[in-house]
């Protein structure tokens, strides 16, 4: 019957509709699209955590700035001249940005896009006053960094808007977020950044906010980032940076008992004004021949020079190849076969203490050969491996594991390395330059400061770190309280300390006697590191700690191409020590000489 | 006594379904535009400054119209059928002259602020006219003159509506073919119609040559079935295939014709051989097969012309989007995309009354008229949509039941007209909101906002109820 056929087809077509409805209902994408359509999330950016110095002084704070956005669909013709005047930009820049937005108009749709970034509060006030003239424009408050004092440009690091490569690696970030790029800002990013909040609104198809979603129940409050207490002493840091003006190198001071970094200077460094607006200065910083962005304190691996002798002396004592009483003669150097390692004029022969006091090269050539040719080992290679293990126990040749990013390892040569380049035909004489901290050996200034701290502690170190406390946060900080003992028996350190004491405070022949302090027992070791690159002047190196008993500060100073360790590095370290322990500088002449010294050009000389 | 008898004979199931649909429509119009941000109350549904308030007035009007339809003597409808048809045609002509233009189509009368669309009422008039002519005792549908008269009655208002232009409302008149089928037109006509539409769609999607190969293969198979000369057929097929593979390279280089025309050229001798054999063997079915082939090929070649010259660019775009050949979620595909999102996001039980975000925040355009089904889908979910579909199915079933129980063929034919008309609207409207059909702007009966549509369907339905209740 035709009626049934007709009603049957009605039924069939209705069932097709029902199946289609079913298909739409079970597709979850539709639900997502619907909520994306209607919900507008307005991000509320949290204030980033502040950074205090060890005495509670703020060294990094926040400043409110404003991002100015525009919704192209709502934009009317406006007075571009006035707009440019408010934000102090050129008409060309504005035209270019507007053209760019215009090109992406379809893609942008009803959304708003950022037009001016980090407008100041004054600019924003002017803009607000005249906002009625600029329909479609809006402003979002952001915090940017501000620095009360010019210090620590390299150690604080900077923040910058995330780029697409960063977003790919860190999906939890969104376009427009800031992240710490270097220094403390980078390594403590998870604590500093806080949590973004958002307000959820319902909007209509014209992107007009209709109402708050669910009466704000789903809004998320922004949580400010955690404040950090740094181990840095702001006054000391500032003073140390002043000393390094017009010099290339770094100063690191550590509190030996705690491993806290008191100051960390890389010179030349970044001025904090550049740091606050890094994007503007990025090109000039990146192309500067002195590489101010390069943090020499942790990233530059230098030959340690004579300061390394103390390590060799300690290893020899531990290996039992010398005693503190062992004496070696020196006739203006060490002579073996056709090889000569020169030395300067000093009394001869010397014992261990005197060898450190006067920095005798011959003594350490003999000592080092005694270690490598020791009967305990079958061949020099095995002895070198044992030597390497001792050296590495000082934190050399490896990352110390500080909380500072981009730390480098330095280099300590291995047996297999020499086997490879000398095809296993080498002996103690082949690698003799290691005895005086030259050759295939490299250490960062941070590692040298840590070495000074080890001697100050008579045999152990605590991993150097730059943050003492994350406020209102409990985190496992055991890595920064644990003592790391070297493989050297603590009893062997006393003669070395004595030698270092005499190097500053001894009579004739003491290498650093010009750097002695009248009221403080400063112990130090100079180094004059031959420059492996070309025939520029030697690097000036000094490690020290003070006072001798119960030391409060351990320092490493490295000045590139400055000459003798005693001339530049030692006085600088001495001034830093005095400043830290007494708060003043008694030696105005010495201070002025250092402040006025310009060694920068030695670095660039071909 | 007579009145009580009349009330008893009224089909109350249909009236209940009608009332349910009208109320569902009203509440959903309210839901899709009601703005509660400034602290309104649900009583705002009577606020006549808004569409939902206006719809209330239209519903009150529809009730009056319904009662009026029931009060009029049932003979009036058949006696004045021609007069009503004539008046309707005149109104369609008048609107082309005096009408006002909304959204590019000149289809509205504006009488003292009330806008009426004569095209909606033309369906009633056409139904009455069809019922009237086909119920004549000496009318024969299966004659040429009979068919031409009937198709002419359908075509005249359709063409006038097309001139406005209101493509959707003009297409509705095609629904009456279902009535013709009930009244004796061969089912093959419907099958042929469906086949034509399928061929049409395939011609848009596929390469012309591919579709030609398909048509040729199908016809050859049919030819083989009727002639039973498989051997010859296979031979010719192989020959044709061989020439198709070998010749083109040579010919394409020397002649500036397309692949499709080359195919036709090659096919021509085989068609002539087919004609020759059909003539010799006197098997009439073979002629039918050849005719089918020719018509199919004609359709395939006319599609390009139709798409590019007859359809408006936006209509062409809609068809392409429906067939998945183009995607433009921001432009022409926006409506359907947002509509599908609205319905899909409703889930099983919906977001709840006044909780639909897609429709209330205007992401779906035309959400009170053509896309009203979205609001139902979003706020009442699959469950609500199913209830609506079931209500409509009950309505169709009752109408067909009423139609079949009539002794008077006028009422029966009219009943089928009503069913086809409402079903066409129902199916096409919902299908376009869920992306099964291109966007053709026709309302969902009883649900969509609009006085003309509501009143026209009310009249359509209540005239049938009156005719049914007055049956002997």
CA distances for B280 relative to A31, B92, B227, B234, B290, angstroms: 66, 53, 11, 19, 14
Task: Considering only the beta carbons, identify the residue of B338, B396, B436 that sits closest to A7.
Answer: B396
Radius of gyration of chain A (CA): 32
Task: Considering only the beta carbons, identify the residue of A31, A202, A206 that sits closest to B344.
Answer: A31
The answer to whether A34 contacts chain B (CB < 8 Å) is yes
> What does pTM read for this prediction?
0.64
CB contact under 8 A, B338 and A37: yes
Interface of B with A (CB under 8 A): 37, 178, 181-182, 187, 330, 338, 340-348, 357-358, 361-363, 377-378, 381-382, 385-386, 389, 392-393, 396-397, 400, 403-404, 416, 419, 423, 427, 430-431, 434-436
| Residue scoring higher pLDDT (B321 or B370) | B370
Q: Which residue of B has its CA nearest to A23?
A: B344
Contacts of B379 (CB under 8 A, 6+ apart): B28, B31, B346, B350, B351, B352, B353, B354, B355, B356, B359
Task: Considering only the beta carbons, identify the residue of B345, B397, B436 that sits closest to A7.
Answer: B397
Q: Which residue of A has its CA nearest to B330?
A: A106
Report yes or no: B399 and B423 within 8 Å, Cβ to Cβ: no
Report pLDDT digits (tens) over B270-313.
Answer: 888 888 888 888 888 888 888 888 888 888 888 878 877 777 77
Burial call B383-403: b when 16+ CB within 10 Å, e when fewer = ebbbebbebbbebbbbbbbbb
CA distance A310 to A490: 14
Task: Considering only the beta carbons, identify the residue of A20, A30, A204 that sits closest to B436.
Answer: A20
CB contact under 8 A, A25 and B381: yes
Residues of A with CB below 8 A from B434's CB? 17, 20-21, 24
Task: Considering only the beta carbons, identify the residue of A25, A29, A202 that sits closest to B382.
Answer: A25
| Residue scoring higher pLDDT (B362 or B144) | B144
CA distance B410 to A422: 114
CB contact under 8 A, A17 and B348: no
Q: Which residue of A has its CA nearest to B423?
A: A10
Structure tokens at B10: 């009224």
CATH entry, A63-145, from 3.90.1310.10, 3.30.360.10, 1.10.3470.10, 1.10.10.10: 3.90.1310.10
Report pLDDT digits (tens) over B44-60.
Answer: 788 888 888 899 999 99
Residue A325 is classified by DSSP as T
Report pLDDT digits (tens) over B351-399.
Answer: 888 888 787 777 787 888 889 999 999 999 999 999 999 999 999 999 9
Percent of chain B with pLDDT over 90: 40
**Spacing of C-alpha B89 from chain mean position:** 20
CA distance A564 to A567: 5
Residues of B with CB below 8 A from A109's CB? 330
Report yes or no: A181 and A193 within 8 Å, Cβ to Cβ: no
Chosen from A23, A37, A108, A200 to mutate, greatest number of chain B CBs within 10 A:
A37
Residues of B with CB below 8 A from A206's CB? 362
CA distance A469 to A232: 12
Neighbours of B120 (CB within 10 A): 25
Residues of A with CB below 8 A from B393's CB? 10-11, 14
> Nearest 5°: CA angle at B48, between B43 and B50?
90
State the pLDDT at residue B104.
79
Mean pLDDT of B421-438: 92
- The CA-to-CA distance between both ends of chain A, in Å, stands at 106
CA distance B219 to B292: 8
State the pLDDT at residue B38.
62
CA distance B160 to B143: 26
State the pLDDT at residue B1.
45
| Residue scoring higher pLDDT (B121 or B8) | B121
CA distance A219 to A385: 61
Window 77-116 of A, Cβ < 8 Å to B? 106, 109
CA distance B421 to B383: 26
Q: Which of B11, B129, B146 is nearest to B78 (CA)?
A: B129
State the pLDDT at residue B326.
66
Chosen from B32, B357, B416, B433 to mutate, greatest number of chain A CBs within 10 A:
B357
CA distance A226 to A471: 6
CA distance A328 to A308: 18
- The most confident of the ranges A59-63, B126-130, B214-218 is B126-130
Q: Which residues of chain A have pLDDT under 70?
A: 109-110, 205-208, 532-534, 605-606
Q: Nearest C-alpha of chain A: how many angstroms from B159? A: 27
CA distances for B61 relative to A141, B58, B348, B369, B451, angstroms: 56, 5, 35, 18, 8
State the pLDDT at residue B255.
64
Q: Which residue of B has its CA nearest to A31?
A: B345
Residue A443 is classified by DSSP as B
Structure tokens at A447: 């590692």
The answer to whether A17 contacts chain B (CB < 8 Å) is yes
- Name beta bridge partners: A230: A467
CATH architecture of the region A234-282+292-604: 3-Layer(aba) Sandwich (3.40)
Domain A63-145 shares a fold with domain A234-282+292-604: no
Q: Which of B26, B27, B34, B31 is nearest to B50 (CA)?
A: B34
> Which residue matches tokens 């049919």?
B222
Residues of A with CB below 8 A from B181's CB? 2, 6
The answer to whether A31 contacts chain B (CB < 8 Å) is yes
Residues of A with CB below 8 A from B37's CB? 210-211
Q: Which of B101, B78, B105, B104 is nearest to B160 (CA)?
A: B105
Q: Which of A410, A393, A317, A313 is nearest to A359 (CA)?
A: A313
| Residue scoring higher pLDDT (B238 or A255) | A255
CB contact under 8 A, B347 and A31: yes
State the pLDDT at residue A410.
92
**Spacing of C-alpha A137 from chain mean position:** 39
Residue A66 is classified by DSSP as E
Structure tokens at B394: 């009950």
Pairing of strands A58-70, A137-146: antiparallel
Q: Which residue of B has its CA nearest to A1?
A: B182
Dump the DSSP string for B312-378.
-HHHHHHHHHHTTS---TTTTTHHHHHHHHHHHHHTTT-S-TT--HHHHTT-STTTTTTTHHHHHHH
Domain residues of chain A, as ranges? 63-145, 234-282+292-604
Q: Which of A391, A119, A400 is nearest to A252 (CA)?
A: A400
CB contact under 8 A, A205 and B386: no
Q: Which residue of B has its CA nearest to A106?
A: B330
pLDDT confidence of B42, banded at 50, 70, 90?
confident
Burial call A507-528: b when 16+ CB within 10 Å, e when fewer = eebbbbbebbbeebebbbbbbb
CA distance A407 to A446: 9
| Sign of the alpha-carbon dihedral angle for A586, A591, A593, A594 | positive
CA distance A391 to A380: 16
CA distance A200 to A216: 7
pLDDT confidence of B257, banded at 50, 70, 90?
low
CB contact under 8 A, A25 and B436: no
Contacts of B439 (CB under 8 A, 6+ apart): B318, B335, B336, B370, B432
């Amino acid at each position: 019957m035709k009626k049934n056929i007709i009603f049957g087809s009605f039924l069939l077509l209705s069932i097709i509709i029902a199946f289609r409805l079913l298909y739409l209902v079970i597709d979850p994408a539709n639900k997502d699209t619907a909520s994306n359509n209607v919900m507008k999330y307005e991000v509320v950016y949290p204030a980033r955590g502040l950074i205090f110095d060890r005495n509670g002084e703020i060294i990094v704070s926040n400043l409110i700035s404003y991002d100015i956005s525009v919704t192209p669909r709502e934009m009317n013709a406006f007075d571009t001249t006035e707009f440019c005047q408010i934000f102090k930009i050129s008409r060309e820049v504005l035209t270019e940005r507007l053209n760019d937005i215009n090109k992406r108009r379809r893609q942008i749709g009803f959304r708003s896009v950022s037009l001016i970034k980090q407008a100041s509060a004054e600019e924003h006030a002017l803009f607000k006053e005249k906002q009625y003239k600029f329909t479609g424009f809006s402003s979002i408050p952001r915090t940017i960094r501000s620095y009360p004092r010019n210090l620590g440009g390299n150690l604080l690091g900077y923040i910058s808007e995330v780029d697409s490569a960063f977003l790919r690696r860190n999906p939890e970030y969104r376009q427009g977020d800031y992240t710490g790029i270097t220094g403390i800002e980078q390594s403590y990013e998870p604590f500093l950044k806080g949590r973004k909040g958002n307000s959820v609104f319902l909007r209509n198809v014209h992107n007009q906010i209709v109402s708050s979603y669910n009466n704000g129940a789903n809004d998320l409050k922004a949580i400010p980032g955690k404040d950090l207490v740094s181990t840095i002493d702001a006054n000391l840091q500032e003073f140390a940076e002043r000393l390094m003006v017009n010099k290339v190198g770094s100063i690191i001071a550590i509190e030996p008992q705690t491993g806290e970094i008191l100051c960390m200077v890389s010179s030349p460094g970044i001025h904090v004004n550049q740091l606050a607006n890094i994007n503007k200065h990025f090109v000039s910083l990146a192309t500067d021949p002195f590489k101010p962005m390069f943090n020499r304190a942790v990233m530059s691996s230098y030959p340690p020079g004579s300061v390394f002798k103390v390590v060799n002396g300690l290893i020899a004592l531990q290996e039992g190849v010398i005693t503190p009483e062992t004496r070696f003669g020196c006739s203006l150097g060490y002579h073996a076969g056709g090889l000569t390692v020169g030395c300067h004029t000093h009394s001869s022969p010397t014992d261990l203490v005197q060898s450190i006091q006067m920095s005798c090269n011959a003594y350490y050539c003999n000592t080092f050969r005694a270690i490598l040719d020791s009967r305990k080992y079958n061949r020099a290679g095995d002895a070198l491996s044992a030597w390497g293990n001792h050296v590495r126990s000082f934190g050399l040749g490896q990352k110390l594991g500080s909380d500072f990013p981009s730390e480098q390892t330095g280099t300590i040569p291995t047996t297999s390395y020499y086997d490879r380049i000398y095809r296993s035909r080498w002996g103690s004489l082949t690698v003799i330059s290691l005895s005086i901290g030259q050759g295939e050996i490299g250490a960062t200034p941070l590692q040298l400061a840590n070495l000074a701290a080890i001697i100050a502690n008579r045999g152990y170190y605590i991993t150097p770190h730059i943050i003492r406390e994350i406020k209102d946060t409990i985190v496992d900080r055991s890595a920064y309280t644990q003592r790391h003992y070297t493989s050297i028996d603590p009893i062997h350190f006393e003669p070395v300390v004595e030698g270092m004491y005499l190097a500053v405070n001894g009579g004739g022949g003491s290498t650093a006697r010009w750097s002695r302090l009248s009221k403080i027992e400063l112990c130090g070791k100079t180094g004059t590191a031959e420059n492996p690159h070309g025939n520029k002047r030697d690097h000036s190196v000094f490690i020290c700690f003070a006072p001798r008993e119960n030391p409060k500060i351990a320092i490493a100073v490295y000045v590139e191409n400055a000459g003798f360790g005693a001339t530049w590095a030692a006085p600088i370290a001495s001034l830093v020590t005095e400043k830290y322990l007494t708060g003043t500088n008694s030696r105005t002449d010495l201070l002025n000489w250092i402040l006025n010294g310009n060694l920068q050009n030695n670095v660039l000389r071909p | 006594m007579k009145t009580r008898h009349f009330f008893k004979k009224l089909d109350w199931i249909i009236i209940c379904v009608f009332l349910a649909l009208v109320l569902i429509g009203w509440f959903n119009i309210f839901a899709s535009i009601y703005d509660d941000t400034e602290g309104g109350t649900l009583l705002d549904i009577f606020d006549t400054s808004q569409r939902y308030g206006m719809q209330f007035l239209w519903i009150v009007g529809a009730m009056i119209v319904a009662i009026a339809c029931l009060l009029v003597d049932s003979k009036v409808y058949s006696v004045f059928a021609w007069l009503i048809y004539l008046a309707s045609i005149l109104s369609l002509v008048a609107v082309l002259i005096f009408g006002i233009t909304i959204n590019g189509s000149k289809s509205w009368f504006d009488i003292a602020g009330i806008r009426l669309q004569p095209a909606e009422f033309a369906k009633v008039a056409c139904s009455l006219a069809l019922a009237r002519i086909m119920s004549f005792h000496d009318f024969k549908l299966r004659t040429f003159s009979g068919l031409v008269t009937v198709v002419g009655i359908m075509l005249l208002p359709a063409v006038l509506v097309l001139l406005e232009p209101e493509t959707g409302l003009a297409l509705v008149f095609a629904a009456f073919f279902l009535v013709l089928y009930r009244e004796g037109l061969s089912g093959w006509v419907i099958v042929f119609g469906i086949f034509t539409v399928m061929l049409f769609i395939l011609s848009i999607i596929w390469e012309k040559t591919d579709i030609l190969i398909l048509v040729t293969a199908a016809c050859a198979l049919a030819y083989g079935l009727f002639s039973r000369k498989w051997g010859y057929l296979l031979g010719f097929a192989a020959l044709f295939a061989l020439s198709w593979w070998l010749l083109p390279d040579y010919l394409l280089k020397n002649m500036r014709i397309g692949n499709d025309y080359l195919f036709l050229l090659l096919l021509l001798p085989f068609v002539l051989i087919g004609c020759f054999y059909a003539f010799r063997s006197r098997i009439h079915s073979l002629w039918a097969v050849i005719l089918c082939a020719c018509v199919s090929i004609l359709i395939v070649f006319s599609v390009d012309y139709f798409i590019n010259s007859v359809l408006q660019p936006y209509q062409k775009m809609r068809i392409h989007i429906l067939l998945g050949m183009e995607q433009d979620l921001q432009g022409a595909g926006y409506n359907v995309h947002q509509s599908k999102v609205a319905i899909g996001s409703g889930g099983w039980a919906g977001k709840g009354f006044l909780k639909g975000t897609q429709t209330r925040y205007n992401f779906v355009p035309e959400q009170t008229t053509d896309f009203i089904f979205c609001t139902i889908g979003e706020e009442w979910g699959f469950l609500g949509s199913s209830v609506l579909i079931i209500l409509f199915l009950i309505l169709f079933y009752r109408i067909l039941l009423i139609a079949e129980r009539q002794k008077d063929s006028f009422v029966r034919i009219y009943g089928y007209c009503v069913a086809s008309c409402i079903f066409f609207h129902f199916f096409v409207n919902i299908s376009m909101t869920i992306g099964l059909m291109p966007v053709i702007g026709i309302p969902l009966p009883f649900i969509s906002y609009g006085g003309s549509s509501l009143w026209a369907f009310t009249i359509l339905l209540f005239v049938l109820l009156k005719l049914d209740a007055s049956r002997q």
